[in-house]
Amino acid sequence: MAIATLIAAGRLDDRLIDRALGLLREVDSQASFAQWIDDGDAADLRFTGDLRQARWALSELEGLDLFVQEEEPRFRRLFVADMDSTIIGQECIDELADYIGVKDRVAEITERAMQGELDFPGALRERVALLGGLEVAAIDQCLAERVTPNPGAKTLVQTMRVGGAQTLLVSGGFTAFAEPVGQKVGFNRVKANVLGHSGGRLSGLVEGGIVDAVAKRETLIEAREAAGLRPADVLAIGDGANDKLMVEEAGLGVAYRAKPPLAEVADARLDHHGLDALLWAQGIRRKDWVQAG
């Protein structure tokens, strides 16, 4: 059996559910209402049949978030997330570049890289080179002034941890941002790039290997195998082309406000709600959420 979860916080009513059932019955004539997860916010429909066909049939629905998946496993035991423009609302390298007067140049390269138009390692090195000479103290200033978690991030991560899941923040950005963000949001572990510096200023170089799309996927696989989990036990989320391999590797791969290259391959898109909607996707009622500040 499979589940289609409809999420439309404060707006989900019988009319919308009936419309969804009508569309889903094009795939399975016996599709039925399964349960309210939270009245008026999220509900499950049950069906049998091809998941892709069901997603296509339900794609006519607008203004809601939709998750189509096998009924089991529902709760994912490993959560892997991108950071910039996913767990947080900013691209840290763009914001940091503003402190040295090159934000427009860096942001243009970032956007093209996230659209999949540029080789990620080369684009990263080009952007980091533009930061050369910036005082390292600007990182803490940027963190304090500009970097904020996206709505629902803390609640999502901390609720999953209470449920027994491992949580991993894997970023093509930098440890100088990812480590404090990971600690603030509640991740178990962080993997990101290292900004080179000397004499209190950035060197304009990346130290060590680069966390690109391949490295993100490999990190997910390593974490999954270390925990003895199946691919189906993994939930991954990102927003750009650099997240494609990671999202495809997960049992449930989600595109968050995503660029087209990622949205095209993801199992689901989260376009209308905060990150905590991923708890509804896992069948977790609001009363059981960790309401993080």
- pLDDT 10s digits, 20-74: 999 999 999 999 999 999 999 999 999 999 999 999 999 999 999 999 999 999 9
Is 157 inside any structural domain? no
Q: In terms of Cα–Cα distance, which of 61, 55, 78 is closest to 267? A: 55
Q: Does residue 55 sit within a domain? A: yes
pLDDT recorded at residue 158: 97
| Domain assignment present for 111 | no
Q: Which domain CATH number covers 39?
A: 3.30.70.1110
Residues 6+ apart with CB under 8 A from 40: 9, 10, 11, 12, 13
- Catalytic machinery residues: 82, 84
Is 29 within a domain? Answer: yes
pTM: 0.95
Q: Alpha-carbon distance 267 to 262, whole Å?
A: 10
Angle, helices 137-146/175-185, rounded to nearest 10 degrees:
40
Q: What is the pLDDT of residues 182-207, one digit of tens each?
A: 999 999 999 999 999 999 999 999 99
What pLDDT, on the 0 to 100 scale, is given for residue 119?
85
pLDDT in tens, 126-166: 999 999 999 999 999 999 999 999 999 999 999 999 999 99
In this structure, is residue 35 part of a structural domain? yes
Establish if 28 belongs to a structural domain. yes
293 pLDDT tier (thresholds 50, 70, 90) = low
Residue 239: which pLDDT band, with cuts at 50, 70 and 90? very high
Task: Count up the domains in the chain and report the number.
Answer: 1
Residue 32 within any structural domain of the chain: yes
The whole domain housing 32 covers: 1-72
Which is nearest to 92 in space by CA: 144, 167, 151? 144
Residue 65 forms part of a structural domain: yes
Left if phi > 0, otherwise alpha if psi is -120 to 50, otherwise beta: which for 148?
beta
Rounded Cα distance, 240 and 238, in Å = 6
Q: Are 47 and 70 in contact (CB under 8 A)?
A: no
